[in-house]
Amino acid sequence: MSFTLCFTYKIRKLFVEFFTFRIYFYYLRFQIDTHSFMQDLIKADQSSIWHPFTPLFGLREPLLITSAQGCYLHTSTGKKILDAISSWWVNLHGHAHPHIARAIAEQAQRLEHVIFAGFTHEPAIQLATRLLEILPSNQAKVFFSDNGSTATEVAMKMTFQYFHNQGMKKRKIIAFEGAYHGDTFGAMSVGDRSPFNAPFQPYLFEVEFIPLPTQSNEDIVFSQFADIIRGGEVSGFIFEPLVQGASGMRMYAAEWLSKAIKLAQENGVICIADEVFTGFGRTGKLFASDYLTAQPDIICLSKGITGGFLPLGVTTCTQQIQAAYQSEDLMKTFFHGHSYTANPLTCAAANASLDLLLHADCQENRERIAQKHAQFLAQHQSNPKFHNIRQLGTILAMEITQSGENSYFHEARNALYYHFLDQDILLRPLGNVLYLVPPYIITDAALELVYEALVGVGEVKGNF
């Protein structure tokens, strides 16, 4: 009996060892196959794809992201990277948020798309209505497009044709030095003349650029602004309200901007707020325009509008702007549109994102992030590593003390980028300017991790 039990035990043990080995063997094979597959994907990327804002020499190969959840990006090699810039400022509520994902999936089963000329649908109507409820009270109409650049293009064309329809020749635009409004031609024209658009400058229309107002120059800049306005040829004044994003998170006073808008509107100039970056809570309030005592005539929105899920642009305007197009004359029609204008899936995503944005939890999170940023600023205001630490709402920015001027093309940019990426933190420096624009669900512990990495940065140098 004991012999039988012993034999049975040994047979079972052999079977267990055999199947354990087989499982381990298949696991290793799966790992090898998976690694090989991922490497093949990277090679396919390099042979087929041209990435945005990316030099073709001198950089590491792109990281392959297989999934994302909350504030974290998961790579094919098993790394978990903290997305501290909301993937180019678009993500509000965390990656793969189930409420937005579910809204898109449900909408896809009802209506995926329909031409928006002569037709309409509930998601677009609902989104337009909800946006007008939370935007400045003078906004009355919503025009849909595809992204931030197209939202700006629509605003520019609305402005020019507003005067054209009335038989008025007002062709000048005023913009700030350092402005960035997108990469299409109209958007480039009202953006700062820089290496970004140098090859195209002969083809851009002329713009009157004025310096960004600071405490030391605001009176001089306002006088310059007033002189241009009173010339009577200006059709529009376009600005990123309170924060210039791409030029280094440069901040300026709401009081100055309110005063400038008031003067412009008194002289018949259309004021355009590019809230592509600042909209949907980034500055603490829902819109940066909410800090102003004078409201813009046109507002451009994108980036965070869908919570980071799908591309969508929106341009809103006052009733007065649209009134110039209300005519039996066909030639006064606003002939602008896109194939995917007001796509139902993107509108469904935007409505779901608004659900989350307007919830008390989101407001509390934005206030919590702002308080944490303010504490960091207070603690490190005199830190010799940093220069000009500044903060507005959930936006925190600073210059790393380096030789040379502050510039997107500062030699430290790539070195800083990889310095943080090697610590599994995604920060994308604007030259030697570091900034933090996290999803609103980021935890205090994750914020502290980023703060510690910022404080720990040494004399980082590199070549662009």
Return phi, psi of residue 274, to 5°.
-85, 95
Over residues 310-332, mean pLDDT: 98
pLDDT of 25 reads 46
Distances (CA, A) of 25 to 14, 18, 39: 16, 10, 21
Over the chain, what is the mean pLDDT?
92
Residue whose C-alpha is closest to residue 364's, from 440, 449, 278:
440
Would you say residue 464 has pLDDT above 50? no
pTM metric for this prediction:
0.92
| Residues in contact with 21: Cβ distance below 8 Å, sequence separation at least 6, in sequence order | none
Q: pLDDT tens across 406-463, in order? A: 777 777 888 899 999 999 999 999 999 999 999 999 999 999 999 999 999 865 555 4
Would you say residue 401 has pLDDT above 60? yes
Rg, Å, the chain Cα set: 26
Token duo for residue 405: 């001027």
Q: pLDDT tens across 189-233, in order? A: 999 999 989 999 999 999 999 999 999 999 999 999 999 999 999
The confidence band for 35, taking pLDDT boundaries of 50, 70 and 90, is confident
Would you say residue 22 has pLDDT above 60? no
CA dihedral 352, 357, 358, 359 (to 10 degrees): 90
Q: pLDDT tens across 261-295, in order? A: 999 999 999 999 999 999 999 999 999 999 999 99
Distance (Å, whole) CA 6 – CA 24: 27
User: Which of 52-61, 141-150, 342-351 has the least mean pLDDT?
Assistant: 52-61
Over residues 43-52, mean pLDDT: 94
Distance (Å, whole) CA 347 – CA 107: 9
Q: pLDDT tens across 238-257, in order? A: 999 999 999 999 999 999 99
Over residues 9-25, mean pLDDT: 56
Residue whose C-alpha is closest to residue 301's, from 314, 289, 311:
314
Give the helix ranges, DSSP H, for 135-239. Answer: 148-164, 185-189, 218-229
Q: pLDDT tens across 99-145, in order? A: 999 999 999 999 999 999 999 999 999 999 999 999 999 999 999 99
Would you say residue 18 has pLDDT above 80? no
Would you say residue 308 has pLDDT above 90? yes
Q: Taking a C-beta distance cutoff of 8 angstroms, is the pair 347, 146 a contact?
A: no
Q: For residues 33 and 68, which has the higher predicted lDDT (pLDDT)?
A: 68
